[in-house]
Amino acid sequence: MLIFTDISSIKSHLNKLEKVGNIIGFVPTMGSLHNGHLSLVKKSILENNVTVVSIFVNPTQFDNSEDLQTYPSNIENDIGLLKSISDEIILFNPDSDEIYSDGIKSHQFDFNGLDKHMEGKSRQNHFQGVATVVNKLLSIVEPDNIYFGEKDFQQLRIIENLVFEKKINTKVVRCETLRELDGLALSSRNSKLSFSSKKIATNLFKALNFAKEKFSTLDIFEIEKKVREKIKAHSEIKLDYFMIADEEKLEPLISGNNKKNRAFIAAYISGVRLIDNIKLY
């Protein structure tokens, strides 16, 4: 497997591959890979001749230095997992100085209001950091297709908006959320949870499913109230937000509409912040 750590080497390698007609798929990640990430990689391999995976824990998207410092990382294991899928994957694993040679700071983007609620509200400058790094990575890899998980649905919409507004010649491919058998969405952060915290964390998915079940019969205010009550019954869970919003604008829903809607949740379980969402259609 080819592993690049500097921008100029990966750029010149990919330029050569592109010149001879290869279609390039790109999966950006922060490492500590699990089957959710790997499902994106497998989709890219099916849909492109060349797949590039990046592993880079992006400092500018963390609003909390402790969260950044304790973010799980296991590069040797990640390389093994990628190799087990295909030796032909190209890995880009730069360090911060390589990506932020202009200083570790975010550029400023206008997300047309997509960052107003949920993660944008709870995590200051999070999406400016995400868009900064994805914009940089897109200009390095110049992929035909880029793969993002619906697990981070607001992030996915922010990137779709970025690609559209900047007229970047890349298709954003949406990928379904992979879950444990008990419904817990796979996340690198799950490795920070004890066995019992993991069990408790399944209540997030249960709450989302409750919302889905009641969406056509109860009004939204009632659903939100009941979800809050259900979560409150578990003292180990600290709810950050529960929200129902339309997929396009991510505006909170006040009453029923005929758009595609999703229920979103974020909560701390034993101090670990988890997010999840499901479609309501």
Element (H, E) at 228: helix 220-232
Could you say whether residue 152 binds ligand AMP (CB under 6 A)?
Answer: yes
8 Å CB contact between 4 and 10? yes
Residues numbered 217 to 236 that lie near ligand AMP (CB under 6 A) are none
Judged by CB under 6 A, the residue of 29, 145, 190, 277 near ligand AMP is 29
CB 236 within 8 A of CB 197: yes
- Measured from the CB atom, is 155 or 261 closer to ligand AMP? 155
The span of 80-88, 104-112, 113-121, 148-156 binding ligand AMP (CB under 6 A) equals 148-156
Q: How many Cα atoms occupy the beta-carbon half-sphere of 40 within 13 Å?
A: 27
Residue 141 · residue 29 · CB < 8 Å? no
Joined tokens for residue 259: 């758009």
CA 195 to chain centre: 24
Question: Any idea which residues carry the catalytic annotation?
Answer: 37
Residue 188 near ligand AMP by CB under 6 A: yes
CA 126/CA 123 separation, integer angstroms: 5
How many whole angstroms separate alpha carbon 209 and alpha carbon 120?
Answer: 24
Q: Which of 94, 120, 143, 149 binds ligand AMP (CB under 6 A)?
A: 149
CB nearer to ligand AMP: pick between 205 and 223: 205
Q: What are phi and psi of 269, to 5 degrees?
A: -120, 115
Q: How far is the CB of 275 from ligand AMP (least distance, A)?
A: 10
Check residue 186 for interaction with ligand AMP (CB under 6 A). Answer: yes
Please report, as residue ranges, which positions from 36 to 65 form the binding site for ligand AMP (by CB under 6 A). Answer: 36-37, 39-40
The contact mask relative to ligand AMP for 102-141 (x = CB under 6 A, - = no) is ----------------------------------------
Q: Which helix (H) or strand (E) holds 203?
A: helix 195-214
CA–CA separation, 110 vs 164, rounded Å? 12
Closest to 112 (Cα-Cα) out of 155, 146, 174, 162: 162
187 lies in the binding site for ligand AMP (CB under 6 A): yes
Count Cα atoms within 13 angstroms, Cβ side, for 195.
0
The residue from 38, 79, 114, 185 that contacts ligand AMP (CB under 6 A) is 185
Number of residues that bind ligand AMP (CB under 6 A): 17
Q: Which range binds ligand AMP by CB under 6 A, 1-9, 97-105, 172-180, 249-257?
A: 172-180
Q: How far is the CB of 40 from ligand AMP (least distance, A)?
A: 6
Q: Would you tell me which residues interact with ligand AMP (CB under 6 A)?
A: 29-30, 36-37, 39-40, 148-149, 151-152, 175, 177-178, 185-188
